[in-house]
Amino acid sequence: MTDTDSLAILAFEGFEELDAIGPYEVFQGARSAGADWTVELLATAETDRVSAAYDLRVEPDGVLSADADLDYLVVPGGGWNDGDGETGARAVARDETILDAIRALHAEGTTLLSVCTGAMVLSAAGLLDGRPAVTHRSALDELRGTDAEVVDARVVDDSDIVTAGGITAGIDAALWLVEREWGAGVATAVAETTEYERSADVYRA
C-alpha cells in the first residue's frame, strides 16, 4: 500500500476563479475515479476567507508553508494586467515569503503546476530559468523577457514543473497531470463526467 499523495491549490486574494476551481474539480473527480490523493486550498496567510478576481469567496483549508508535505502544488494566476498589483498574481510574485516557500517545496520534490499567469509567479521565483514554459497570451512577452524558454503549446510538461496557458488551459493541464500520474482511464473518466473535450496540445520536454 502506498501513502496517499497530497495536492494543494494556492488561493490568494484576486486569484482567477477558473484557474483554481477548474483544476480543483478535475482533481476531486479523479479521486472519485481512483486517484489516491488529498486536495486542498491553501492561502498565502492566515485568513478565514479569500476573495477571487470576480468576488467568489472561498474558505481555505490552511496556509502554504515551506515545510508543507506536498506532492503537488498548483499556482493559479489572476489580475496580472490590472495595473495596481495590490492583489492577484503580480502581488504574489513580489511576496518573497511565498516565493521562498514555493522554492523550498520544489527543492524537496513537490511537482509544480502553474495555470495562466501563475507561471509568472514561478518565473519570479527563478524556477523557470532555462526551462520550457507557457503562460496566458497577455503575459507571453513578459515571460519571453525572462530566462524561460517560451513554448507555443496549451500545456507544457517539463517533468517536475507543468505550465498551462490561459484560464481554461488549467483544466487541460489538470487532466494531463491526472493521466500522467494515475493513468489514461482515470483522466478519461473525469473528462467524460465533466463533459469536457480535452486538448491534445501538450508539449513534453
pLDDT at 64: 98
3-state secondary structure 16-40: CHHHHHHHHHHHHHHHHCCCCEEEE
Strand positions, DSSP E, the chain: 5-11, 37-43, 50-51, 57-58, 62-63, 72-75, 111-114, 132-133, 149-150, 155-158, 161-164, 202-204
Give the pTM.
0.97
Domains, the chain? 5-160+167-198 (3.40.50.880)
pLDDT at 85: 78
The active-site residue out of 116, 120, 173, 190 is 116
Active site residue 128: no
Angle, CA of 71, 120 and 47, to the nearest 5°: 60
Q: What size, in residues, is the chain?
A: 205
Question: What distance in Å separates the CA atoms of residue 49 and residue 23, rounded to the nearest whole number?
Answer: 20
Per-residue pLDDT of the chain (205 residues; tens, 9 = 90+): 358 999 999 999 999 999 999 999 999 999 999 999 999 999 999 999 999 999 999 999 999 999 999 999 999 999 998 867 789 999 999 999 999 999 999 999 999 999 999 999 999 999 999 999 999 999 999 999 999 999 999 999 999 999 999 999 999 999 999 999 999 999 999 999 999 999 999 999 9
